[in-house]
């Protein structure tokens, strides 16, 4: 992973030192291709504001318990969760299983829903609203009649 990052950095340095336009275009294409293949768990910026990311987690527990039959039994509990954020859509898949002496029961749940606007988009929207309010109040103020001098 660090070797790949070093290679990408070296490509970037060599790209900056290029002088011809054709070579610069080739270099930009090479950088785009290099950045289009992220390592697992990294976020990739695909366009102006869309982000693709993936996270996963795994939890397992195992214990010995005394059964009604007076024997000791092995119980395990596993939960796997995978979350993807892809172009403004949140996908989540959870698999859970409980086993006693190798006899398992489990379930899987999937959730997909659109995400709200990103933090940057919310900031842009609130700035736009603020500017709209400022310009509206400035131009909508009632005109004060000019004071007439006393005759």
How are strands ordered across the β-sheet holding 89-100? 44-45, 51-66, 72-86, 89-100, 103-114
Helix (H, G, I), strand (E, B) or coil at 149: coil
**Average of per-residue pLDDT across 140-151:** 57
Interatomic CA distance for residues 14 and 6, integer angstroms: 12
- pLDDT at position 41: 47
Examine the pLDDT at 2 and tell me if it is beyond 60. no
- Backbone angles phi and psi of 49, in degrees to 5: -130, 0
**Residues sharing a CB contact under 8 Å with residue 53, sequence separation 6 or more, in sequence order:** 41, 42, 43, 44, 84, 85
pTM for the full model? 0.43
The answer to whether residues 71 and 97 touch, using CB atoms and an 8 Å cutoff, is no
31 against 64, higher pLDDT: 64
> Please, which residues bridge with residue 56 across strands?
82
DSSP H helical segments within the chain, as ranges?
2-16, 21-35, 119-140
Confidence band of 76 (pLDDT split at 50, 70, 90): very high
90 against 31, higher pLDDT: 90
Percent of the chain with pLDDT over 90: 27
> Please, which residues bridge with residue 111 across strands?
92
**Average of per-residue pLDDT across 86-113:** 89
């Amino acid at each position: 992973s660090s070797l790949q990052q070093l290679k990408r950095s070296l490509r970037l340095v060599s790209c900056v030192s290029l002088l011809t336009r054709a070579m610069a275009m080739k270099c930009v294409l090479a950088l785009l291709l290099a950045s289009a293949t992220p390592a697992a768990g990294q976020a990739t910026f695909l366009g102006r504001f869309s982000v693709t990311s993936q996270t996963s987690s795994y939890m397992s527990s195992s214990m010995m318990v005394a059964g009604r039959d007076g024997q000791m039994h092995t119980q395990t509990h596993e939960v796997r969760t995978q979350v993807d954020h892809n172009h403004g859509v949140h996908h989540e898949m959870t698999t859970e299983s409980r086993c006693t002496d190798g006899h398992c029961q489990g379930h899987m749940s999937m959730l997909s829903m659109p995400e709200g606007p990103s933090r940057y988009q919310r900031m842009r929207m609130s700035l736009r609203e603020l500017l709209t309010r400022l310009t509206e109040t400035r131009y909508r103020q009632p005109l004060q009649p000019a004071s007439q001098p006393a005759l």
